[in-house]
Every structure is written in structure tokens, then in C-alpha cells.
């Protein structure tokens, strides 16, 4: 829960905080489209470099984005492993061959490593690194250990250059996508996101679509993500003080533990929604009615400049798609 940074706002005064929220949302969408236009690892690496330069210039801590990656680190590693395993072709460039062996003795050693990991992981503060060490140990057992008796299978684990390139390509793309969305939420308040979405969707009013309600729903959803995360953290600590362990136990026990977390979360969510509706009614908010704004959004020279630069990047991405 502590690793989720999406929806959190960090105060600052760099150039990105001064951009119009409509432009920031539009730029985020364009940059994500640019990521899917980049054709290979070299152009994706250039895109990563451009993103890092932009991020450094905003003076927002990159550590916040890296913390947000912890929650999906297992998915990223699993994706890399799939690319390395299933990228096979006679026309590809073979980099290395791992001679693997599995048998009775390897199975016993691996079972010991797994049992040792599950019994000791609760004492390790950095569980992700500990998991990687355990997985590496299992791999080394199958690769380096050699026994002549009770061997079930010998096979070659082939590493191709194309597999590494595809894995790196996907990793960089996911990292930059998360970084772009995090940059938007970290530098933009919820009310500004609401106004920005409403401004971008303003043409839909011609089709009699209530854009204000739709943008309000999105803004409230983004606003309450960190709030509910904080509430869930408090509930987990309260349950832990009563002896509930959310990380250990059988599957049946874990289901009960999750229920002990979900029920208070539902109660708190309904309570928060009721308090929010009362506060909005007290401030004269009526669904469907025309609303005035204290600060009207106006585009300035920096907004046009960022839009032009982003369009140039998109043009270069389209060019690289066909000519690189």
C-alpha cells in the first residue's frame, strides 16, 4: 500500500506546475501514443532519455515513480521471463546456452530453498530482493548442479539477442508509461484535473452529454485513491495489533483476513461518500446545473510551446516507424 503513488499530489513551482491542466492531460495522451509508435529498442531508449530529461527538469523526485513500480515488479519480471523463454527462432542471434538439469536431487534442493524462503521471508525487510535471490538460487541449482543418478530431464535454456531486446523494449515502455501518468497526477491537483477533463470534453456538450458530471466522477476517483489507501493501511495496522497476519497462513485463513479488511473498507467508503455528498450540497452543488468557476483556464505561451514540442516528438516517432 505504501508503494502506490498514483493519485497523489506533490506541491512544487517548476514549469510543469504552471501548465494549463488541459494541456497536461493532452500531452500525457500524446506521449503515450508516441510510445506505441516507437519501433525498436534504440528509439525506445531515446524516448526513455527524453522522458528522464523532462522529469529531471520538473524537479519532482524520481523515487516516487520508482516506488510506484514496486507494486507491479513481479508482473514486469514475469513478462521479461516470458520474452526470454518464448523468443526462439533459427534466424535469431544466439547469445548463450544454459545447460539445465532436473532430477530427484535438484528437486529436493529446490524444495529446501522454497521452504527456507517461506519460513524466513517475514524476517526480511526487503522482500522483493529476497524473492529475486530465492529465484536466482533455484535457477543456479538447475544450471550448475550435475548428478548422474535419478535425472529426469536435461535441456538447453537458450538466450537470444532478440529476446533480450524485446524484454528491454517492454520494460522501458511500461516504465515510461507509468512515469508519464505519475507526472500528471504528481503535478496536478484534483480540481485542476477535473477542470482539464471538462475543458477537453467540452465539444461533447453539443451532443447533450453532461461533461461536468463525467469529469467530476473521474476527479473524485483520482482524489480518493490515496485516501482509501491510507484508510486501508490504518485498518491493516489495527488488525495486526489484534493478531491478524496478512502475509502468512493458509489460503482459508488469508480469505478470512481479506474479509476482515474489505468489510471496514466498504463501511468507510460509504461513510466518506455520504460526507462528501453532504459537503457538496452545503456548497450548492446540483447535478446537471451550470456551474461557474473561480479561475478560468487560459492558454499561455508555455502551453503552446510544450504542445508544439510534443507534436514534433510525435512526428519524429511516426517518421521512425517507417524509416528506422
For 219, the domain range is 211-287
Q: pTM of the entire structure?
A: 0.73
pLDDT score of 5: 55
pLDDT score of 34: 92
Question: Quick one: 13 exposed, middle or buried, by C-beta within 10 A (0-12, 13-18, 19+)?
Answer: exposed
For residue 43, being part of any structural domain is answered with no
Q: What cell was used for 236?
A: 491493516
For residue 171, being part of any structural domain is answered with no
> CA 153, CA 102: separation in Å to the nearest integer?
5
pLDDT score of 1: 45
Q: In this structure, are 283 and 215 located in the same domain?
A: yes
Number of domains the chain is built from: 2
pLDDT score of 28: 92
For residue 152, being part of any structural domain is answered with yes
> CA 160, CA 12: separation in Å to the nearest integer?
45
* Residue 99, beta-bridge partner list: 156
pLDDT score of 110: 93
For residue 45, being part of any structural domain is answered with no
pLDDT score of 7: 55
Cα–Cα distances (Å) from 223 to 44, 77, 126, in that order, read 32, 30, 29
Q: What are phi and psi of 106, to 5 degrees?
A: -60, -40
For residue 103, being part of any structural domain is answered with yes
For residue 67, being part of any structural domain is answered with no
Query: ∠31-37-39 over CA atoms, to 5°?
Result: 130
The closest alpha carbon to 190, from 210, 153, 164, 216, belongs to 216
Q: In this structure, are 157 and 220 located in the same domain?
A: no
Mean pLDDT by 10 residues, the chain (324 residues): 58 87 92 91 90 88 73 78 80 85 91 90 78 88 86 87 88 88 84 81 78 76 75 78 66 69 82 83 74 75 91 90 78
Amino acid at each position: 500500500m505504501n508503494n502506490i503513488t498514483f493519485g497523489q499530489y506533490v506541491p512544487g513551482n517548476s514549469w510543469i506546475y504552471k501548465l494549463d491542466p488541459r494541456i497536461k492531460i493532452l500531452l500525457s495522451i500524446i506521449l503515450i501514443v508516441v510510445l506505441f509508435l516507437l519501433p525498436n529498442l534504440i528509439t525506445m531508449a531515446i524516448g526513455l532519455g527524453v522522458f528522464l530529461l523532462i522529469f529531471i527538469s520538473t524537479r519532482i523526485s524520481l523515487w516516487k515513480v520508482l516506488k510506484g513500480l514496486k507494486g507491479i515488479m513481479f508482473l514486469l519480471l514475469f513478462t521479461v521471463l516470458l520474452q526470454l523463454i518464448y523468443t526462439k527462432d533459427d534466424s535469431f542471434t544466439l547469445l548463450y546456452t544454459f545447460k539445465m538439469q532436473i532430477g530427484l536431487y535438484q528437486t529436493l534442493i529446490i524444495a529446501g530453498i522454497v521452504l527456507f524462503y517461506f519460513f524466513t521471508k517475514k524476517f526480511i525487510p526487503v522482500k522483493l530482493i529476497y524473492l529475486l535471490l530465492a529465484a536466482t538460487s533455484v535457477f543456479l541449482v538447475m544450471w550448475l548442479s550435475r548428478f548422474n543418478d535419478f535425472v529426469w530431464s536435461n535441456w538447453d535454456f537458450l538466450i537470444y539477442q532478440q529476446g533480450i531486446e524485446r524484454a528491454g523494449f517492454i520494460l522501458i515502455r511500461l516504465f515510461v508509461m507509468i512515469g508519464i501518468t505519475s507526472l500528471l497526477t504528481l503535478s496536478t491537483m484534483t480540481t485542476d484535473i477535473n477542470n482539464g477533463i471538462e475543458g477537453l470534453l467540452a465539444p461533447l456538450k453539443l451532443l447533450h452529454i453532461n461533461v461536468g458530471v463525467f469529469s467530476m466522477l473521474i476527479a473524485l476517483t483520482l482524489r480518493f485513491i490515496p485516501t482509501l489507501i491510507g484508510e486501508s493501511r490504518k485498518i491493516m495496522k489495527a488488525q495486526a495489533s489484534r493478531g491478524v497476519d496478512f502475509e502468512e497462513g493458509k489460503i482459508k485463513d488469508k480469505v478470512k483476513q481479506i474479509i476482515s479488511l474489505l468489510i471496514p473498507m466498504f463501511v468507510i467508503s460509504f461513510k466518506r461518500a455520504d460526507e462528501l455528498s453532504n459537503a457538496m450540497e452545503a456548497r450548492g452543488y446540483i447535478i446537471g446545473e451550470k456551474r461557474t468557476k473561480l479561475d478560468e483556464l487560459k492558454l499561455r505561451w508555455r502551453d503552446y510551446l510544450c504542445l508544439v514540442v510534443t507534436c514534433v516528438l510525435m512526428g519524429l516517432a511516426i517518421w521512425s516507424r517507417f524509416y528506422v
